[in-house]
Structure 1
Amino acid sequence: MSNTNNTSESQGSQQSSQSPQSSRKSQKPQKSQDSQESRRPRPMEVLREARAQLAELTGMTAETVSSFERTEEGWSLEVEVLELERVPDTMSLMGSYQVELDSEGQLTGYRRVRRYERGRADSRGGR
């Protein structure tokens, strides 16, 4: 039983000795988080995060960003997504998604604007 008491006492002393260190450690990230929250995300950070968020929400691979612009509310992107993989690859079905993000780069909404085969030319602006 004395071993159990020693163990719990030593754990208590370890916890109390770790508390100041862990509180110091937790204070440092808070300061850096505050500075990160106050700065705007850079365009490449927004692009990467948008692709990752869309892939997580849809379960589909976000392949490319075909348009990207800053708006009054945040960001607007058009992302090309692999919806259905086929063989040969040129027959795979792609989707073009309009993605809206807030000023911090968090996805606020998305919608598919068109669906097409990877190997097909765009008929919207073509002759």
Structure 2
Amino acid sequence: MAALDVLRAMAKEPQTVEAFFAEVGRAAGADPRLDAAVTGVKDSLQDLATVQVRARRIVERMALVLQGSLLVRHGHPAIADAFCATRLAGDWGSAFGTLPPGLDLVPIIARTTPKLG
């Protein structure tokens, strides 16, 4: 239901869609996976014939794109890279924490390791 509510709100207040894309657009060019995901969301909103059937996927993707944009702009680069690789590029499994090879995991682990002393 919530996803359909989002679509109804977007139809009723189109400036919210513009505001969303302006916000995520602040990270344009910072990560190609994020750029591709933003384009994908834009494209998914163009096909109105099946938009209600795809509402959950669209709204989920919008949330991930917003998260990615915020991480790329304000987060630790290694965490932003891992997020974009696993949530926007689609290289993740069903188990939480499944990561593709090649990510810089040292700073991520260091941020979560308790400091003794």
TM-score by structure 2 length?
A: 0.29
TM-score (normalised: structure 1): 0.27
Q: Which has the larger radius of gyration?
A: 1
Q: Which has the higher strand share?
A: 1
